[in-house]
Amino acid sequence: MSNKETSSLDHYISQIDLLLNRALQKIDQLHWITLSSVQIKNGESLPDARTVVLRKILKNRELVFYTDRRSPKVEQFKQNKNAVALLYDRTAQLQLRIHGVIEIDTQSALYEDARGRIPTQAKVNYNTLHAPGSPAHSIEPDRNKEVLHFALLRFLPHTFDLLHLTPEGGKRIEVKSTNEGMLGEARWLVP
């Protein structure tokens, strides 16, 4: 591999952390991430996707999202932990797909800290009487202000797939994550 290819590969590897760090910024378009799962319906595996907000990145590149613990995605991830997160920077034309597994957390110190930091006005996202997606009798669902149906989705990545669309043709890399969250084996892919 030539030095030009190596430095270019290193350049694209560095873009992964740059995109993730931007996604933590509330004013950045990357803050809203598409998270995909598999739902089992009538014995059939069907894809499902939704937009989630990135709340935290842990040192091992673990992504943390908030959810209502009764939401359909929680049951989907209990049945099948595999997930894909998608970030897209339309200005730079960079797409980052992250493959990994989801752990549902309702007990750790991280969970307790996050639960304690939920602003009062945001608690309405976790205190409805009925689960998200349930039929509602009006635009404003019934709530129990004393109960928070809160959980963390902890996304542990194992593969990063970065695609850069350019006028000269796309550039694409795949990078494996080590058990410690370090970016390890990297290779070029056909875009």
3-133+140-189 belongs to CATH 2.30.110.10: yes
Rounded to an integer, what distance in angstroms lies between the CA atom of residue 26 and that of residue 53?
9
pLDDT in tens, 120-155: 999 999 999 999 999 998 999 999 989 999 999 999
Give 2: exposed, middle or buried? Use CB within 10 Å, 0-12, 13-18, 19+. Answer: exposed
pLDDT in tens, 61-70: 999 999 999 9
pLDDT in tens, 20-36: 999 999 999 999 999 99
| Domain parsing of the chain, residue ranges | 3-133+140-189
Q: Which residues of 45-77 are buried (b: 16+ CB within 10 A; e: fewer)?
A: eeeeeeebebeebeeebbbbbbbbbbbbbbebb
CA atoms within 13 Å, Cβ hemisphere of 187: 5
180, pLDDT greater than 90: no
Which of 110-118's residues contact partners 24+ apart within 8 Å by CB, and which partners?
110/56, 110/64, 110/152, 110/154, 111/151, 111/152, 114/55, 114/56, 114/64, 114/66, 114/150, 114/152, 115/148, 115/150, 118/66, 118/148, 118/150
Q: Are 62 and 83 in contact (CB under 8 A)?
A: no
pLDDT in tens, 81-128: 999 999 999 999 999 999 999 999 999 999 999 999 999 999 999 999
54, pLDDT greater than 90: yes
